[in-house]
Structure 1
Amino acid sequence: MTSSLINKHKKAPLINNNMLFVIPSWSEVLGFPTLGRYANQDISKILTDIIIFYGGTECSILTEKGVLHCLFGLGFYHTKFELKSGRYIIDSRQLSGLLLSDFVYDYLATSKNITLENDDDVIYTEKVVKVPIDLSFKTNNKQTFIKGALMRNLFIPYKDSFIEMMNTIKEDNTYNINNDGQMLLSTHWDYYNKILISSRMNYANYINPTASINDIIIGADEFLTSLFSTSKNIDIEKNISHLKKVYSGIEYDPMYLFSILENTSKYLKSTGKIIKQQKGLSNLLNQKKSLFISAENRLNSIIQWPTLFKRKTKDELESTVVIDNTKKEINQDNQYKSPMNIYNIEGYNTPKNEDFVLKTMRSEFVKSRPLPQIPTTSIKEILFYLRSIINDNYDMPSIGLALEIARDNLRKLALHLDYMWEMSKLANLYKRKNPNLSLSQKEKFELLERIESWIANAHKNMIKLNP
């Protein structure tokens, strides 16, 4: 890199921008580059790979290979996946930085809107969500609309990921940037789909491979030194430490996760800057949103995805995995049956260390609770209600009852729905289960997938689902 370019990009300003920044599926954004490995085993299916950032500092830097867009703050990679052996795993990594090459940034910034189409600084698309932490400059009606959309489309379906992140933030030894250095999830051309960590970190566990990520390597300190001056790196670390103090100190309601934003906004105010889309551009450029304030000068340009990083579909990636025949037989015969009917769960009450992942196939004891009132007038609300019941950890007979009532209410709204028979089958299955037992993690993942497919089916059949 030439000295003039080094000097130029080291002068790129850091911008304070407190935001919630979420990529619901990392692998989908990158075109499913890898399934990854875990504990020396092949991964066969990725169920969740969400990136959540409570961002505080951003910067866009011109490099020899293109523009690199950087976001620093408290980040979290949360993934749920299935091993080739059939076991289900939950894994996570703390993050402190997100490095987006210009073509990845533009792919996110041009993704299709789901809602909030007329709001330039609150963005909700198929690939990314960006919301200012402080919404006090919005009208009350706009705040109510944003709150409802985020609760239904983000906080409820990804409730477990947000709660796990908040629990991690509140631990004393996490996000200790001063001692452990930074953890950077990167799509930089030389470090594509890798996490860069510092040699200062006690990285024995962190560096283990996980789903969707090509590699986890040492090199964060050297890379940041090449991008920023010493004073800027110190400022970035100070901001991350401040965010750790703020987010670890707030209280929030796990049943109402929007309270994270509400309670944090008392300490992290908005910059007040709103980016307006310029008029008179081509239709393609009109689709681009400005995710970062520092990227405003790139609003009129779009970098196409390079052939060097070939994109695949999820089916193409997963088709490369050969599943064990024994697992295939189990899945075919027990697609919607409790894992308790497949495995002798009682035999694993005191598992050996190597069997710890079987916890994902066990039910836990939960108190029986009355179901909340189920909606009756909207297909949208009924399906979202079912999703919330699954996420709220009701026992299996209650889930069966919720499915049964939902099916009856749906019949009053539509003469025929493709998933009605499937819903009946699941209702009958779970109503027969013993009370006070929750879904296992595996069952929960699969049932949520079915509900998401019903919502997608409703879209496909032109049933209008407003946010």
Structure 2
Amino acid sequence: MSTHIVESKLIDNNIFLVIPSWGNLLGYPTLGKYAHHNVSKISQDLVIFLGGTECAVSTEKGTLYFLFGLGYYYLKFELQSGRYITDNRQLTGLILSDFVYDHLATSKNITLENEKDVIVSENLFKLPIDLSHKTETKKTFIQGTLMRNLFIPYKDVFLELMETIQNPQSFQIEKERHMILTTHWDFYNQILISKDMELKTNYLQATAGLNSISLGVDNILNQYFNSSQLKDIKDTVEHFKDAFSSIGYDPMYLFSIIENGAKFLRGGTPIPFTEETVSNKKPKESILISAQPYVESFREWPDNFRRQSKEQLEKSFVPNETVKYQPKESTSLKKPEVGEFRRKEEDFELRTMQRPFVGFKPLPTIPIDNLFEILTTLKKVVEEDYDIQSIGKTLEIARDNIKKEVLHANFLWDMSKYSNVYQRAESNIGLSFNEKEDLLREIDYWIKISQKHYDKF
């Protein structure tokens, strides 16, 4: 790792940035793994980022671009079994090496060519969170463009992101430190986390599209930033968490996330980009303010990070059944056949994740004014293997009935989370074994903590 670093200033710049396909940006480096199984196909790999602080750092290897705030890496992918799975990772930072940044910055802007601070391209959506400096005509055009091309196609992802941000347990930077998606030369296509996240095993599990999720975020941040800068970065993440946890938004008009977010963010006055002449040979969009000094330079994509098409990557997938075991030369000693046992373990793990087909059954009547009976009925619906959409509807009704009697923020938030996810599931599909066990444990916990209030309801 390079040790010669030119320190750069942090710049406050509140921006909304979306990379529609992380794999497409990087040239599809890997399909990745999930639950000890190879991923066979990736259908969505979206990166959403609400950025508040940025910085460009020059090193011997080149320039690194940092963006800090609240982010979300969302995935929908397929395993060999044909089962689609969704997964996500919270992010507090993004590191782009210069060749990745320049690839982004030279993507053709599909619309809005005259708006230097707004980008709508194949690889990137970017705009300032505060649009108060725009005319009403321009704002209307930007709103319409983002709604058609981003918020409507990815509505469920944005709703999930906002639910995550508003969860009190999310983005706990004081406790869990940073979670940074990076294309740093030494940590290419990885998420770096701290030792404080080691116990959060769900986050550490491998997922689609990434080379790995690794420890080491503290080392890399301490190398590039001093203690005062690290405090400012931490303050940015906490401020964004507070702001976007507090805002209201219209689920049918998700651009309201940007509009209402601007009202809560401090230092939201946009910094105008300088009107500099850009080389006709390598025209670069102005993504980050800190990149302005490098607007005339261009870093080619290095050969050691080979690019390929999505089709080439998916064709490289080899199903386990077609992988032939090549024995070594025979010897008089025979090793224990532990591989077969491991495969059986993995097959069992995958089976417990699969959602079975179930028929539709009418829901029972959900009690109205008794907290304990509401939760008991909910548990019965889960135990009797109703379809996921019906379970989601039951959770919604139960939550609304409980709201009339008691206000328990974390309790109700968890019910809303499950309800929203399950009601968007496929029809006539039941919970997997693992999902059912996890949900029953949650409901048992809700019943336990509500029993002391039972006499009131």
Please, what TM-score do these two structures have when normalized by structure 2?
0.71
Asked whether the equivalents of residues 88 and 357 of structure 1 are also in contact (C-alpha less than 8 Å), the reply is no
Q: Structure 2 matches for 1:46-445, cutoff 5 A? A: 46-201=42-197, 202-268=199-265, 270-279=268-277, 281-285=278-282, 287-323=283-319, 355=351, 357-359=353-355, 440=426
User: What amino acid sits opposite 1:17 in the alignment?
Assistant: N
Task: Please say which structure displays the higher CA radius of gyration.
Answer: 2
Residue deviations 1:77-101 (CA, integer Å, cap 9, x gap)? 0000000111110000000000000
Aligned length: 344
Distance 1:194 1:159 in 2: 26
Tell me the C-alpha RMSD between the 2 structures: 2.7
Asked whether the equivalents of residues 69 and 102 of structure 1 are also in contact (C-alpha less than 8 Å), the reply is yes
Distance 1:365 1:236 in 2: 51
Asked whether the equivalents of residues 116 and 123 of structure 1 are also in contact (C-alpha less than 8 Å), the reply is yes
Q: Residues 221 and 257 from structure 1, CA distance in 2 versus in 1: closer, same or farther, beyond 3 angstroms?
A: same
Distance 2:290 2:165 in 1: 27
Distance 1:310 1:441 in 2: 41
User: What amino acid sits opposite 2:209 in the alignment?
Assistant: S
Match of 2:10 in 1: 14
**Unaligned ranges ≥5, structure 1:** 327-351, 367-392, 394-436, 444-467
User: What amino acid sits opposite 1:254 in the alignment?
Assistant: P
Residue deviations 1:98-142 (CA, integer Å, cap 9, x gap)? 000000000000001111111000111110111111101100000
User: What amino acid sits opposite 2:239 in the alignment?
Assistant: H
User: What amino acid sits opposite 1:273 in the alignment?
Assistant: I
User: What amino acid sits opposite 2:271 in the alignment?
Assistant: K
**Unaligned ranges ≥5, structure 2:** 323-347, 363-388, 390-422, 430-457
Asked whether the equivalents of residues 118 and 127 of structure 2 are also in contact (C-alpha less than 8 Å), the reply is yes
Report the CA distance between 1:277 and its aligned residue.
4.5
Q: Residues 363 and 247 from structure 1, CA distance in 2 versus in 1: closer, same or farther, beyond 3 angstroms?
A: farther
Residue deviations 1:250-273 (CA, integer Å, cap 9, x gap)? 111111100101111112253332
Distance 1:96 1:209 in 2: 18
Distance 1:107 1:187 in 2: 12
Match of 1:372 in 2: none
Q: Residues 282 and 15 from structure 1, CA distance in 2 versus in 1: closer, same or farther, beyond 3 angstroms?
A: closer
Q: Residues 359 and 166 from structure 1, CA distance in 2 versus in 1: closer, same or farther, beyond 3 angstroms?
A: farther
Distance 2:247 2:67 in 1: 22
Distance 1:305 1:164 in 2: 34
Q: Residues 261 and 438 from structure 1, CA distance in 2 versus in 1: closer, same or farther, beyond 3 angstroms?
A: closer
Which stretches of structure 1, 4 residues or more, deviate above 3 A after TM superposition? 322-326, 352-366
Residue deviations 1:168-211 (CA, integer Å, cap 9, x gap)? 11111110001101001010000000110010123311110001
Match of 1:384 in 2: none
Helix, strand or coil: the match of 1:166? helix
Alignment identity in percent? 49
Report the CA distance between 1:63 and its aligned residue.
1.1
Helix, strand or coil: the match of 1:205? helix
Match of 1:25 in 2: 21
Q: Residues 297 and 365 from structure 1, CA distance in 2 versus in 1: closer, same or farther, beyond 3 angstroms?
A: farther
User: What amino acid sits opposite 2:165 in the alignment?
Assistant: I
Q: Residues 93 and 360 from structure 1, CA distance in 2 versus in 1: closer, same or farther, beyond 3 angstroms?
A: farther
Please, what TM-score do these two structures have when normalized by structure 1?
0.69
Q: Residues 360 and 156 from structure 1, CA distance in 2 versus in 1: closer, same or farther, beyond 3 angstroms?
A: farther
Residue deviations 1:314-368 (CA, integer Å, cap 9, x gap)? 0000001235899xxxxxxxxxxxxxxxxxxxxxxxxx985464349789999xx
Distance 2:101 2:72 in 1: 19
User: What amino acid sits opposite 1:440 in the alignment?
Assistant: E
Report the CA distance between 1:161 and its aligned residue.
1.1
Helix, strand or coil: the match of 1:310? coil
Match of 1:418 in 2: none
Helix, strand or coil: the match of 1:225? helix
